[in-house]
Amino acid sequence: MSRINAWITYLQVAPLALVFLLFLVVPIATIIVVSFFDYNTTQIIPAFILQNYDELLTSPVTWRTYLQTIEFAAITWVLTLVIGFAVAYFMAFHVRSPTVQTVLFLICTIPFWTSNVIRMISWIPFLGRNGLANTTLLNLGLIREPLEFLLFSDFAVVLAYVHLYTLFMVVPIFNSMMRIDRALLEAARDAGASGWQTLWNVVVPLCKPGIAIGSIFVVTIVMGDFVTVRLMSGGQSASVGLMMMNAMSLLQYPAAAANAVILLLLVLFTVAAMMRMVDIRKEL
């Protein structure tokens, strides 16, 4: 009997296992294998060489690009966390009526019904030299020369990231907050905690799973991004994804694969570190 049960269990996990095997394990294994291949202008040559990794890891460009990507990820993470937390807090604790909560939540999500790229590109005419922002500031007499750093700069990149990805923080944090038993807040107040103390000692710890999930979303998306960096920096900044794009555009798949493996390791490491701090499964 227990044997049959075991089989049934295996059958039950089989579909998902198969999907993972086909669409996750096989592609990643392929990337890893290809990253050791050799290549020339026209073809990829099956081999086992370390040259791709060697060229990648010994080049100062790689390190600089990785640092830049991590920097983008870190700044974006901090900003989206602060903004996302504030927005979620407002919706969860300051808005009393569930109807208004739902409406506000919908308002947050509506921009996400448009394409990611459109939302990003719409910043360009706004921030440009003769764009809305500069024209307004000039007309108000606040500045004399158009602010050049607004567009095609790291500022623009981070701005777009924050705009695009804050919702990924808002949703899970809001979700965590809604599960907090309001009695705990009252208890904290009765025990004499100030507003900040309640926030820091009650709300934040209970929101940890939401924060962790949001952080994983934001950090992994930013680390793998190439479109935002290219469009918003006007090609002035690099990211790891862009490096891979450049390599692939010249059919240098093994070089791009090696880079992908390194990036994957870095992201896995980051996510593992986050999971260590918060046990998401336990909290869900």
Partner 1 sequence: MARKSNGGVGRRRMLKGAAGVAGAALGSGAITGFPAIWAQNIKNITLRQCGTGVSAINEIAAKCKADLGFTLQMTALDSDAVVQRVVTQPNSFDIGDIEYWMCKKVFPANTLQAMDVKRIKYFDKIVPIFTTGKLKPDSVIAQGTAPNTVSFVEGPGSTKFAKGQTGWFTMIPTIYNADTLGIRPDLVGRKIENWKDILDPKFKGKTSILNIPSIGIMDAAMICESAGIVKYGDKGNMTKAEIDKTIDFLIKTKKEGQFRAFWKTFDESVNLMTSGEVVIQSMWSPAVSAVRAKGVPCVYQPLKEGYRAWGGGLSLAKHLKGAQLDAAYEYINWYLSGWVGAFLNRQGYYSAVLETAKANMSADEWGFWMEGKPAQGDIKNPQGVVVEKKGAVRDGGSFYDRMGAVACWNAVMDEDRYMVQKWNQFIAA
Binding residues for partner 1 (CB under 8 A) = 39-43, 55, 59, 61, 64-65, 68, 124-125, 128-131, 148, 151-152, 230-231, 233-238, 242-243, 245-252, 255
**145/190 with CB nearer partner 1:** 145
**202/263 with CB nearer partner 1:** 263
DSSP assignment letter at 284: -
Query: What letter represents residue 123's amino acid?
Result: W
Closest by Cα among 214, 213, 216 to 269: 216
- Closest approach of Cβ 64 to partner 1, in Å? 5
Report CA 283 to chain centroid distance, whole Å. 21
**198/252 with CB nearer partner 1:** 252
- Closest approach of Cβ 242 to partner 1, in Å? 7
- Closest approach of Cβ 55 to partner 1, in Å? 7
For CA atoms 244, 247, 251, 254, the dihedral sign is negative
- Closest approach of Cβ 129 to partner 1, in Å? 5
- Closest approach of Cβ 232 to partner 1, in Å? 10
Estimate the share of the chain in helix, then strand, then coil, as percent rounded to the nearest 5.
Answer: 80, 0, 20
**125/205 with CB nearer partner 1:** 125
**150/177 with CB nearer partner 1:** 150
- The residue count of the chain comes to 284
CA–CA separation, 124 and 235 (whole Å)? 13
Q: Which residues pair with 39 in a beta bridge?
A: 44
